[in-house]
Structures are given as C-alpha cells and as structure tokens.
Amino acid sequence: MIPDPGESFHSDSLDLPWAENWAGDPAIQLKALMIDIEGSRYAVRMRFRAGLQVAPHKHTGEVHAYTFSGKWNYLEYADSPANVAGSYLFEPPGTTHTLKIADDAGEWTEVLFILYGAMLHMDESGAIIGVTDAESVLAEYTQRLKDRNIPLPAHLPVGGRMAYRKLQD
C-alpha cells in the first residue's frame, strides 16, 4: 500500500542499495533518500574513498551536510576545520569549492547531503561542464541500480509534494 502523500515518510537508509561508480568514479557511491524534482531538492547519503578529490563545483541553493565517518574538507577553505564524524556543515547558496577526502580518512568517508537547487560542475577556467540536480540524481540512481540488476527500492519520495510512488523496474 502506498501511503497518503500527507503522511511523513520513513526509510531505513541502511537497507537502501548503494549506486556504485557514481558519476563514473569508482571512488564514489550514493544512496538516494529523497528526491523532489519540482521543489529542486534532494537528500543523498554518499561514500567517498580516501584521497578522492572532486572537480570544483558551485551550488545554486543551500546545502546541509552531516558526516558519519571519515574526514574531508574544501580546498578553498584552508582555515576551516575538517569535517569528521559528527560534523555538521551548512553551505549558503552560491558557494564554490573543491571537495577533498583526506588521504588518511579510512576506507570510506560517509556523508549525508541535503541539497537545494543544482550543483554546477566546473573546469579549471570556471566554465560549467556539467549539472547535477534532483532529476539527474533520480535518473542516474535508478540506472546504476538497473545496470547491476539490483531491485529498485519499493518506494522513494519523488515529486513536488514528495508524493510516494513505486519506482518503475
């Protein structure tokens, strides 16, 4: 039975499958927790291998991050403390940075991100070379699971009102 859209939503994020090789990088995994395409927001749980550095990117909306394990920082903010287990980070809209996982972070650094708007991926000159948003996360998450023959989660809150629906196999 699909819950009424007015109900709260609960998902055991530990039971959700990881989409491996996220964005074509074997050092990144992602679980989609909530995707609101019309509201341009999404929540994801991500894992990163030690030493990973992602391309510079800019956020068009605010970002909230909670670190479960590991250690990471943004290269542009050398004076900021490292994000470690228990750390909460708020990023205002318009921030641009390069995420770096510490070389000594352990096997995985795991972070919960709640993002509003889009993430604009940039090259060295600042030109936009890619965009990640709620719609692209949903498309890549479902495709990566299908590619590995992993059953899609039975329900994932998707849509402007986060209406519950069964993902299509």
Tens digits of residue pLDDT in 18-77: 999 999 999 999 999 988 888 899 999 999 999 999 999 999 999 999 999 999 999 998
Class of the 27-149 domain?
mainly beta
Residue with tokens 């499958």: 17
As to burial, measured by CB atoms within 10 angstroms (0-12 exposed, 13-18 middle, 19+ buried), residue 14 is: exposed
pLDDT digits (tens, 9 = 90+) for 73-127: 999 988 989 999 999 999 999 999 999 999 999 999 999 999 999 999 999 898 9
CA proximity to 61, closest of 35, 75, 48, 42? 42
Determine the length of the chain.
169
As to burial, measured by CB atoms within 10 angstroms (0-12 exposed, 13-18 middle, 19+ buried), residue 89 is: middle
Mark residue 37 as left, alpha or beta (left: phi above 0; alpha: psi -120 to 50; beta: remaining).
alpha
Q: Assign 159 a pLDDT band (cuts: 50, 70, 90).
A: low
